Amino acid sequence: MGLALLVVIWLITFASTYFFVAKTWWLPVGAADAAGFIDGQFALTFVLMGIIFVAAQLSLGYLAWRYREQPSSPPVDYSHGNMKLELVWTVLTTVLFVGLNLMGSSVWASQRFDQAGAGAVQVEVTGMQFAWYFRYPGPDGRYGGTSVQLMDPSAGGEAAVGLNTSDPAAKDDVVTGTMYLPVDREVDLSLRSVDVIHSFFVPSLRFKQDAVPGLNIHMHFKPTAIGDYEIACAELCGLGHYKMHGMVKVVSQGDFDKWLAAREAEKQ
């Protein structure tokens, strides 16, 4: 029985570790400026936790076999625990947890709390059950006003985000269902939600942030590779959550300008 336990525990350990080491299921290639740092932090966390996980499981299997019941086994000893050991692994776990968080927090915080640089592309993302809308402020660089009373999700587009079309600043606002971004230019993102909490997740851009009703959350990042990237909602937000999906198209600055000009022309 001891040997069977050892084999089962070790097999589970190797099988579950294999998928991480072989990267069978892994994040898509990163296409944003912070991807290198985030992936490094991700790998460091996985390697550290992996070593601890494997060591603990190997010891568990070994000890289950080593102290299996045998005819010569002495009577079972009752243990009252070991205060020193408890302290050591609690402190080590705390150091690892807090340390990894502190290491990762600099980039996380700078993306959210620092101001985006001058010349960043402004995009407002609105999440609603069950779609994403993207708004560009247009040539005036100012978003027009929106209001809850004007929101009509069933109408889509400008009406869905509640754009106040009588506001002069709203005249050139462009609202779309696909997000276009120019490559290698910083994006100043404002994230909001109409109804419940959604989460704007673009795995390729290593970008995930909750959209919370009543809050306007700022983030900035820079896409670094032209391509089409999938957006998913990463917060269970209702029956249609599974289809709350969209695309980010990262294009050249020229293509972006052309696309935006065409949307502006459609509004005239």
237 binds Cu ion (CB under 5 A): yes
Stretch that binds Cu ion, among 52-60, 133-141, 173-181, 235-243 (CB under 5 A): 235-243
In Å, how far are 68, 70, 227 from 6, measured between CA atoms? 10, 16, 48
Kindly state the smallest distance separating residue 257's Cβ from Cu ion, in Å: 31
Question: Whose Cβ is closer to Cu ion: residue 45's or residue 178's?
Answer: 178
Kindly state the smallest distance separating residue 195's Cβ from Cu ion, in Å: 9
Residues touching Cu ion, count (CB under 5 A) = 4
Question: Whose Cβ is closer to Cu ion: residue 181's or residue 237's?
Answer: 237
Stretch that binds Cu ion, among 55-63, 75-83, 100-108, 243-251 (CB under 5 A): 243-251
Kindly state the smallest distance separating residue 244's Cβ from Cu ion, in Å: 4
Question: Whose Cβ is closer to Cu ion: residue 9's or residue 248's?
Answer: 248
Stretch that binds Cu ion, among 7-15, 67-75, 110-118, 244-252 (CB under 5 A): 244-252
Kindly give the interhelix angle for 83-113 and 35-66, rounded to the nearest 10 degrees. 160
Stretch that binds Cu ion, among 32-40, 41-49, 78-86, 226-234 (CB under 5 A): 226-234
31 binds Cu ion (CB under 5 A): no
Question: Whose Cβ is closer to Cu ion: residue 198's or residue 206's?
Answer: 198
Q: Are 120 and 187 in contact (CB under 8 A)?
A: yes
Stretch that binds Cu ion, among 3-11, 169-177, 240-248, 259-267 (CB under 5 A): 240-248
Question: Whose Cβ is closer to Cu ion: residue 96's or residue 232's?
Answer: 232
233 binds Cu ion (CB under 5 A): yes
Q: Looking only at residues 140 through 199 of this chain, which bind Cu ion when binding is defined by CB under 5 A?
A: 198
Kindly state the smallest distance separating residue 241's Cβ from Cu ion, in Å: 5
Q: Are 6 and 64 in contact (CB under 8 A)?
A: yes
- Angular region, 227: left φ>0, alpha ψ -120 to 50, beta rest: left
Contact residues: Cu ion, CB under 5 A? 198, 233, 237, 244
